[in-house]
Amino acid sequence: MSPRRPELPLIDDWTAEQALAIYDFCARISDLLWASHADVLLEQMIERPEHGGFSARPSDWVSPREAVNLELAFGDEEPF
């Protein structure tokens, strides 16, 4: 049996200062992880879609001709 992980406090109960401290801590840890392990992390993300990855198989990619461009909210005004 694996050891039980401690429960996290409800985020809704955090003060703004506590939330900012957690955000700063996570951002710093994230930066350190990327700096030390970027290649391995990217490989794992590609292989594991539950971590926000994507399909690494070219047959699953959409070709540029199939991709739909979004309309930009610019008018036909004079160029810059």
More confidently predicted of 54 and 35: 35
Per-residue confidence at 32, pLDDT binned at 50, 70, 90? very high
Mean pLDDT of 20-43: 92
**Using an 8 Å Cβ cutoff, are 31 and 39 in contact?**
no
51 closest CA partner among 40, 67, 63? 40
pTM of the model: 0.47
So what's the pLDDT on residue 66? 62
